[in-house]
Structure 1
């Protein structure tokens, strides 16, 4: 049985727990049993995100620039032109979200100048560009910290998780779109009504929902509630799960208040000395990191994939969003390699992608947890 040691606490596949910030470690909980893992499709290359279409079909983005349509286990390439796609390092074609009309979808990708959100209309297996929804998100030529994943919230707004592109000033600069969770109008790309800085004279600041992030990998909303959670890569320590609060600072500042010219990754992920009002994480990996990725709610738990950790973590939360325990299903503990995408399907199953680089898989999870 494999164990994960983090911040002095052992998470074991058969019985696992994680620390509750500001309190004692919660009681242990048994790992889920009875999971069924189905390999829906293979032959993918760094599957990055998943979107569900009417009628049971789905789309999968691949970081090198492809989109696959998966229908009844059959995989068909989508005919799509991505202007000036730059797939380097961590960058390329990334997040995807299907619009409520079931015909349009928005993807996020790197170009030679920026990271941008582009909306397409799907007709069969051909995607036609509708508009550049949002351009000008910062991009690193190496692709580093290019995380970009859009999700539609229950309020109809589009929430976009972004990376700081490893540039020190971005996380705390509210006029930069890097190192943020954005909240935008899905039709115009402008800051959505009710945003915390909607009165700003700067268009980018009007789009900001939360700031002070390092490399956010996804945002997910708790069913039947108003809680939103983000999953975020730490440096050598402290991957974070954060409960998002409008206008809040999450405390990442590798510029140390502008006093450092480089990118100082020795600073805390949540620097409460520099920013006493910063919001602490509801869960932190400690050391080593897991490189947690996308989050989804499934069977009442918060499910988060891990790249470096090659596992799925299932978080039990209380009604306030505090983590009570963490379990690791044996069926997804270093069995498929690096896990990236996680989206809950309309039928209640959970879909995941692997991200090993070749012959990556689309997985479907059913069963009880």
Structure 2
């Protein structure tokens, strides 16, 4: 491995990861040995997410609107009706999470009307729709900034990372589900009872955990901790890793306080002048961006895939959640192209998908991180 030491990274981390006066940038990481990569399966097209089943097999979503079952390296299409999936640009079939009963899973996808969460029941290689869990998440006809990744929290609630669909008012509008991290009941789709805006008269506001986001790609729960982290795409600069605080604003506002209707991407990712109480990122890419994607804890570190950067980034955090260093495994650095999904399996290994558009891979990582 090598530490990430680009000048832009050091400058930004000094500001974001150590906000106290006199703080220092994270140090370079040591170089652990023994990382092993196994190509479990191939032939995917934009593999978007991975879910683990009780028998050791896996479900993999593909953005064009297909779900594949992977068992012992063999890939079988799941018989499921996804005729309402709209595949355009960044949109299509996206995130997936398997429910604790091991029989149901919830997938997130664009339709012609919205982005929605739909729960299915799996029986062998056939999946039957159970219900629309949550509808009405905003969708851009081009698919831009669609989000959308569900993840089950240790407390049993479902967190959902959403995009702002490149509409300027969505991130700061608490009646919109775009540009948010949602926290919902996985059985009903309603906001969790102890959510920060649970007393609101608006059902969508009751679902919001955090707001003021641009295009959240993943949410990760730190083991043995109450800390929740998100990974988020920046515009031309400043991809962000955020430590989420219930009810907090993360400061993205391309409407400039509602004063303009165009999507102004020259505003800061975290606008502390307009929103002094907004929460700064614990890490920011500076320039150029990496197009960081899914976040997952693995071997004690926060592992985040990168699309444009074509790498896996491993963040070492202190007890407070501040970034101490970032390292990049050479074994994955620009070796497999764009990396998207990252999910920790029950056996402790890390599964990653590539997202190059043809013959994409499902990778399994073991060994030291």
1:202 counterpart residue number:
202
Contact residue 213 and residue 250 of structure 1 kept, 8 A? yes
Q: RMSD across aligned C-alpha pairs, in angstroms?
A: 1.5
Q: Which runs of 4+ in 1 moved over 2 A?
A: 1-11, 17-21
Question: Does the alignment pair 1:189 with 2:186?
Answer: no
Could you list the per-position Cα deviations for residues 109-135 of structure 1 after superposition, in whole angstroms to 9, with x for gaps in the alignment?
Answer: 000000000000000000000000000
Mapping of residues 144-183 of structure 1, within 5 Å: 144-183=144-183
SS of match in other structure, 2:331: helix
SS of match in other structure, 1:332: coil
Q: How far apart are the structure 1 equivalents of 2:288 and 2:272? A: 21
1:211 counterpart residue number:
211
- TM-score, scaled to structure 2: 0.96
| Corresponding pairs, count | 364
Contact residue 6 and residue 288 of structure 1 kept, 8 A? no
Mapping of residues 88-103 of structure 1, within 5 Å: 88-103=88-103
Higher mean C-alpha deviation, range 78-87 or range 178-187: 78-87
Could you list the per-position Cα deviations for residues 347-366 of structure 1 after superposition, in whole angstroms to 9, with x for gaps in the alignment?
Answer: 00000000000000000000
Could you say if the C-alpha distance between residues 98 and 159 of structure 1 is closer, same or farther in structure 2, counting changes exceeding 3 Å?
same
Question: Does the alignment pair 1:21 with 2:21?
Answer: no
Shift of 1:8: 2.9
1:46 counterpart residue number:
46
Shift of 1:3: 8.2
Could you say if the C-alpha distance between residues 64 and 320 of structure 1 is closer, same or farther in structure 2, counting changes exceeding 3 Å?
same
Shift of 1:275: 0.2
Q: How far apart are the structure 1 equivalents of 2:193 and 2:332? A: 40
Could you say if the C-alpha distance between residues 288 and 5 of structure 1 is closer, same or farther in structure 2, counting changes exceeding 3 Å?
farther
SS of match in other structure, 1:205: helix
Question: Does the alignment pair 1:281 with 2:278?
Answer: no
Contact residue 86 and residue 92 of structure 1 kept, 8 A? yes
Could you say if the C-alpha distance between residues 105 and 180 of structure 1 is closer, same or farther in structure 2, counting changes exceeding 3 Å?
same
1:294 counterpart residue number:
294
Question: Does the alignment pair 1:362 with 2:359?
Answer: no
Q: How far apart are the structure 1 equivalents of 2:288 and 2:48? A: 23
SS of match in other structure, 2:139: coil
Could you say if the C-alpha distance between residues 10 and 242 of structure 1 is closer, same or farther in structure 2, counting changes exceeding 3 Å?
closer
Could you list the per-position Cα deviations for residues 124-163 of structure 1 after superposition, in whole angstroms to 9, with x for gaps in the alignment?
Answer: 0000000000000000000000010000001110000000
2:59 counterpart residue number:
59
Question: Does the alignment pair 1:85 with 2:85?
Answer: yes
Contact residue 18 and residue 324 of structure 1 kept, 8 A? no
Contact residue 50 and residue 61 of structure 1 kept, 8 A? yes
1:348 counterpart residue number:
348
Shift of 1:33: 1.9
2:307 counterpart residue number:
307
Could you list the per-position Cα deviations for residues 137-192 of structure 1 after superposition, in whole angstroms to 9, with x for gaps in the alignment?
Answer: 00000000001000000111000000000000000000000000000000000001
